[in-house]
Amino acid sequence: MANTSLDNFKLTVLTENYPPFNMSIADKNFARNAEIDGIATDIVREMLSRADVDYTMTLRFPWSKVYNLAVNGKDFAVFSTARLPEREDKFKWVGPLIENKYKVFTLASNKIAIKSLKDLNKYKVASVKGHAVTSLLKKENVQFEESLKEDANARKLARGQIDLWVTGEFSGYYYAQKESIPTIKPVFEVGSTNDYLALNPSVPDEVVKRLQSALDTMNSDGTVEEIFSAYR
């Protein structure tokens, strides 16, 4: 780094398995550096390179643990993190990296119509513990079971153990294909979030500024779109 006061700075970057945005290449619950890929991962990696920020990247499980490590760890950061009001003061923010639309999925063979979130309480519903969408569901008093992993919910849907699965649009289709599940279909959109690189407040403002500047340039020069295109 050009700023001598930051010469020894190193950012500890954390993420989770949340394909296709961030994921272990070997589909494991722990991975480091080159063992991690995904749309958001590639964006963050390029952003860090352009900003000349030294870092390590680790994928861990579950999300709740990853998130809490970033909240409490000096010079820690975590992605892909939905920027929610209750999280705003816990971090410094760089982004947005991606827009994540949350859908209610069911099997294509199911004749289920959802017109509002209240309708979800007529069915067995599952989502992943600690994800942004679970906060949205809880605020609307939706009753649902919380799992630790998305693939577990995909299998529950296929087996008929749940009727509805609430997850990100990209992740839903990804896990359905991965688990060889019969065609799924979205029956309702819960909402959407912009997901960011969330940095512990201990991270110097100069680092945050460089990262945001790098991301802004990546958006304007077409790099972000190229990364998305590589995963389509």
Q: How many residues does the chain have?
A: 232
Residues 6+ positions from 49 with CB-CB distance below 8 Å = none
The rounded Cα 61 to chain-centroid distance in angstroms is 13
* 154-199 per-position pLDDT tens digit: 999 999 999 999 999 999 999 999 999 989 999 999 999 999 999 9
Any idea which residue has 């995909």 for tokens? 154
Give the integer Cα–Cα distance in Å for 229 and 232. Answer: 5
Give pTM, 2 decimals.
0.83
**pLDDT tens per residue, the chain (232 residues)?**
555 568 899 999 999 999 999 999 999 999 999 999 999 999 999 999 999 999 999 999 999 999 999 999 999 999 999 999 999 999 999 999 999 999 999 999 999 999 999 999 999 999 999 899 998 999 999 999 999 999 999 999 999 999 999 999 999 999 999 999 989 999 999 999 999 999 999 999 999 999 999 999 999 999 999 999 998 7
Domain of 179, CATH number, reads 3.40.190.10
For 29, the token pair is: 């619950």
Strands 31-32 and 11-15: unpaired
Residues 6+ positions from 217 with CB-CB distance below 8 Å = 50, 223
Residues 6+ positions from 156 with CB-CB distance below 8 Å = 126, 147, 162, 165
pLDDT number for residue 7: 83
Give the helix/strand (H/E) hosting 11: strand 11-15
Say if residues 41 and 55 touch (Cβ distance below 8 Å). no
Domain that holds residue 126: 100-192
137 plus 111 within the same structural domain:
yes
Judged by DSSP in three states, 145 sits in strand
∠ at Cα 97 (96, 102), nearest 5°? 90
> Angle between the 223-230 and 205-220 helix axes, to the nearest 10 degrees?
70
How many domains is the chain built from? 2
pLDDT number for residue 108: 96
88 plus 9 within the same structural domain:
yes
122 plus 185 within the same structural domain:
yes
Judged by DSSP in three states, 13 sits in strand
104 plus 93 within the same structural domain:
no
pLDDT over 90 percentage in the chain: 94
Say if residues 90 and 46 touch (Cβ distance below 8 Å). no
160 plus 82 within the same structural domain:
no
13 plus 59 within the same structural domain:
yes
50 plus 16 within the same structural domain:
yes
Whether a cis peptide bond, with omega within 30° of 0, leads into 24 is: no
93 plus 205 within the same structural domain:
yes
89 plus 33 within the same structural domain:
yes
115 plus 92 within the same structural domain:
no
Sign of CA dihedral 174, 175, 181, 186: negative
> Angle between the 39-50 and 205-220 helix axes, to the nearest 10 degrees?
120
For 102, the token pair is: 């949350």
124 plus 140 within the same structural domain:
yes
177 plus 226 within the same structural domain:
no
